[in-house]
Amino acid sequence: MAQSNYTEDNIRSLDWKEHIRLRPGMYIGKLGDGSTPDDGIYILVKEIIDNCIDEYVMGFGKQVDIVIDEGSVEIRDFGRGIPLGKVIDCVSKINTGGKYDSRAFKKSVGLNGVGTKAVNALSDHFKVQAIREGKTKIAEFERGNLTEDHKITKSKEENGTRMIFKPDQTIFKNYRFRNDFIEQQLWNYAYLNAGLKLNFNGKTLISRNGLLDLLKKRTNPENLRYPIIHMKGEDIEIAMTHGQQYGEQYFSFVNGQNTTQGGTHLNAYKEAIVATVRKHFNKNYDSKDIRASIIAAISVRVEEPVFESQTKTKLGSTNIGPDQPTVRKFVADFLDKELDNFLHKNPEVAQALQKRILQSERERKEIAGIKKLANQRAKKANLHNKKLRDCRLHFNDSSRKVNEEDKLKTTIFITEGDSASGSITKARNVQSQAVFSLRGKPLNCFGQTKKIVYQNEEFNLLQHALNIEDGIDGLRYNNVVIATDADIDGMHIRLLLLTFFLQFFPDLVSGGHLYILETPLFRVRDKKETFYCYSEAEKQTAMNKLRGKAEVTRFKGLGEISPDEFGGFIGDDIRLEPVLLPDGVDIEAVLTYYMGKNTPQRQNFIIENLRVEEEEIKEEEGVLVEE
């Protein structure tokens, strides 16, 4: 047996910044390039703003200014300001901060003392300034190393803290901040902190009615079964209604943190809404019928919250606080009193709610037989076909529990045809990336009922592969990626899949799980260099760099790209375009416009956009040639 040299020299102790930079995922989740809302650069922004929000909650400072320009972020609050003698410690020493003193920060978001330090360690340049009672202290860092320790000087500015940072491009490669993601993040802060003014790049965001405003902005009033119910108590706020859509849609928060993965508070709400409705109507309605088409937002505040991941996306706390009731009882008691009272005082709302429940019950019973047969077919198909090439985190075993940290890393590519799925399968990361292969073009399910999902073999197997038959709580993959050819047929398949998800699983889309895979249209190369180009403009730029002596390949299908090349397109530099639902969008109207019968309006839209695109391409090519 070979001897391994394992000595004292093999033992290393990392300082705080080295550990953060070596294992950033432990502190901020995935890295990414800013193309998805949960990428690391947005977590950095959130960590700083969380501190500003904590000041506001404690009653200090009613405004936060955020400026993002060319990859640099500046955040200024008007709270008490970091004590001047502790400015450096608070941003560069782990387990240092005011939040350990429960008297000062009783229901804070962050209690681990890591957030700001992680931002410091993962930034090219980091500058912190505290202003308190006419004096100011500034410290500057590079990748966590102190470079400038300024003396305390006089200042005429208002009290507060200013932090400026620029993410390290060696860690966040080719990153780009998307203002729409930042703005959505800030709106959540506004809804949860009524009256707080957030100024972002010259735009002011403010909410007066909390979660009521959130649901108003996220819904179309014409599609609601009854006006939004808004209930608010000490340390809890709930807004809810029922719509026309399939699925359930929830927005959950703890101490101002958007818990996108839910947790004990959301589970408590789901249980409590069922119990309260059954009690009010004195009917043992099925829980699925009560929650079908529900749209709800819940916010709670707990002492010393425990989250199941470093990025605080899922609450694990079982109690509201030390010697306090359980989260489950706290939420249940609140709904039992407030919602029941509301329904008694507003019988027309109670009637509309009951009507929706009965409709869901009828629909469920109508498809019960079809669903049973479809489930049997899906179970048999899982054993005998190769439509799903699963990742090792699941090992084709849907009963295996995957922890939240691992689940965030999982991706499934939905593609069409053996050649395309073959290329992706050979190039993928087997540990975390799965592939589902469609057979031919999917059915246009626009205007169809849920029955069609079970009758159509492709859709039935797809929902079982994703494990979303009973809702997205069981979703097996964090990222669902549509990967189709960059031609007319590929675009058509993409639209049909988008229609399927929007029609039957809109909560999967609104939850930020659906993406489009971007693959290069062209390969431009000579004997020394190779460029992969995603547009005509990029192709022209590459040809200019190679001075016209280039071989140009147009990739018509995913199957034409070799597995070796494909590995670069679905690896660390993967380009994903998120499928986003704008606030208040009417899904039915959108699907009618794009997937319904041809209308003059749609034809005119296509013609006009083709003209604009042709003009832009000609203009870009003309500029590039001149250069």
Q: What is the pLDDT of residues 12-64, one digit of tens each?
A: 556 778 878 888 877 887 788 888 888 899 999 999 998 898 889 888 999 99
Give pLDDT, residue 146. 94
Flag whether pLDDT at 500 surpasses 90. yes
**Residues sharing a CB contact under 8 Å with residue 604, sequence separation 6 or more, in sequence order:** none
Give pLDDT, residue 82. 92
Lowest mean pLDDT among 1-15, 327-341, 432-446: 1-15
507 and 577 assigned to the same domain: yes
Give pLDDT, residue 177. 94
Q: For residue 9, is it within any domain? A: no
Rounded to whole angstroms, how far apart are CA atoms 126 and 206? 28
Lowest mean pLDDT among 203-212, 241-250, 269-278: 241-250
- pLDDT confidence bin for 104, thresholds 50/70/90: very low
Q: What φ, ψ does residue 536 adopt, rounded to 5°?
A: -60, -40
- pLDDT confidence bin for 111, thresholds 50/70/90: very low
287 and 428 assigned to the same domain: no
Give pLDDT, residue 621. 44
Reading the block at residue 514, the tokens are 């659906």
Helix (H) or strand (E) holding 614: helix 600-626
Rounded to whole angstroms, how far apart are CA atoms 126 and 120? 6
540 and 563 assigned to the same domain: no
Q: For residue 76, is it within any domain? A: yes
**Residues sharing a CB contact under 8 Å with residue 235, sequence separation 6 or more, in sequence order:** 107, 300, 301, 302, 320, 330
Rounded to whole angstroms, how far apart are CA atoms 410 and 480? 9
Lowest mean pLDDT among 191-195, 254-258, 308-312, 448-452: 308-312
619 and 576 assigned to the same domain: no
Q: For residue 598, is it within any domain? A: no
**Nearest residue to 36 (alpha-carbon basis) of 583, 601, 575, 608:** 575
267 and 294 assigned to the same domain: yes
- Any idea which residue has 């999902």 for tokens? 453
Lowest mean pLDDT among 123-127, 192-196, 497-501, 583-587: 583-587
Q: For residue 2, is it within any domain? A: no
Flag whether pLDDT at 481 surpasses 90. yes
Residue where a domain terminates, one of 205, 227, 257: 205
573 and 456 assigned to the same domain: yes
**C-alpha pair distances (Å), 512 with each of 91, 379, 505:** 31, 28, 12
Flag whether pLDDT at 312 surpasses 50. yes
Q: For residue 605, is it within any domain? A: no
Flag whether pLDDT at 626 surpasses 80. no
Strand pairing partners for 123?
Answer: 167
Mean pLDDT within 518-544: 89
Give pLDDT, residue 411. 94
Reading the block at residue 342, the tokens are 């509301």
Residue where a domain terminates, one of 178, 205, 232: 205
336 and 466 assigned to the same domain: no
- pLDDT confidence bin for 617, thresholds 50/70/90: very low
Rounded to whole angstroms, how far apart are CA atoms 517 and 569? 9
- pLDDT confidence bin for 97, thresholds 50/70/90: low
**Residues sharing a CB contact under 8 Å with residue 367, sequence separation 6 or more, in sequence order:** 449, 450, 451, 454
Lowest mean pLDDT among 223-227, 400-404, 618-622: 618-622
Residue where a domain terminates, one of 333, 366, 399: 366
Give pLDDT, residue 575. 86
Q: Specify burial of residue 184 (Cβ count, 10 A radius: 0-12, 13-18, 19+).
A: middle
Mean pLDDT within 422-429: 89
Q: For residue 595, is it within any domain? A: no
Flag whether pLDDT at 627 surpasses 50. no
Flag whether pLDDT at 166 surpasses 90. yes
Mean pLDDT within 430-438: 92
Give pLDDT, residue 381. 67
Specify the DSSP class assigned to residue 521.
S
Which of 541-545, 605-609, 617-621 ranks highest by mean pLDDT?
541-545
Asked if 235 and 241 touch (Cβ cutoff 8 Å), the reply is no
- pLDDT confidence bin for 294, thresholds 50/70/90: very high
83 and 155 assigned to the same domain: yes
CATH code (residue 507)? 3.40.50.670
455 and 585 assigned to the same domain: yes
- pLDDT confidence bin for 103, thresholds 50/70/90: very low
Q: How many domains does the chain have?
A: 4
509 and 580 assigned to the same domain: yes
**594 or 39: whose pLDDT is higher?**
39
Lowest mean pLDDT among 96-105, 153-162, 212-221, 556-565: 96-105
CATH code (residue 247)? 3.30.230.10
390 and 427 assigned to the same domain: yes
Q: What is the pLDDT of residues 323-348, one digit of tens each?
A: 889 999 999 999 999 999 999 999 99
Asked if 311 and 38 touch (Cβ cutoff 8 Å), the reply is yes
Give pLDDT, residue 99. 52
Give pLDDT, residue 447. 83
Rounded to whole angstroms, how far apart are CA atoms 495 and 499? 6
What 3-state DSSP class applies to 324?
A: coil
Q: For residue 474, is it within any domain? A: yes
Reading the block at residue 16, the tokens are 């705080």
Q: What is the pLDDT of residues 112-148, one digit of tens each?
A: 446 889 999 999 999 999 999 999 999 999 999 999 9
Q: What is the pLDDT of residues 361-407, one digit of tens each?
A: 998 888 888 888 888 877 776 644 668 888 888 754 544 566 666 77
Specify the DSSP class assigned to residue 101.
S
- pLDDT confidence bin for 489, thresholds 50/70/90: confident
Give pLDDT, residue 420. 77
Give pLDDT, residue 383. 46
**Residues sharing a CB contact under 8 Å with residue 502, sequence separation 6 or more, in sequence order:** 509, 587, 590, 591
Flag whether pLDDT at 224 surpasses 60. yes
Asked if 131 and 157 touch (Cβ cutoff 8 Å), the reply is yes
CATH code (residue 28)? 3.30.565.10
Q: For residue 1, is it within any domain? A: no
Rounded to whole angstroms, how far apart are CA atoms 284 and 470? 19
271 and 201 assigned to the same domain: no
Rounded to whole angstroms, how far apart are CA atoms 264 and 245? 25
Mean pLDDT within 210-227: 92
Domain range for residue 156? 16-205
Flag whether pLDDT at 625 surpasses 50. no
The pTM for the full model equals 0.81
Q: Residue 208 corresponds to which amino acid?
A: R
**Residues sharing a CB contact under 8 Å with residue 576, sequence separation 6 or more, in sequence order:** 35, 36, 479, 481, 515, 516, 517, 518
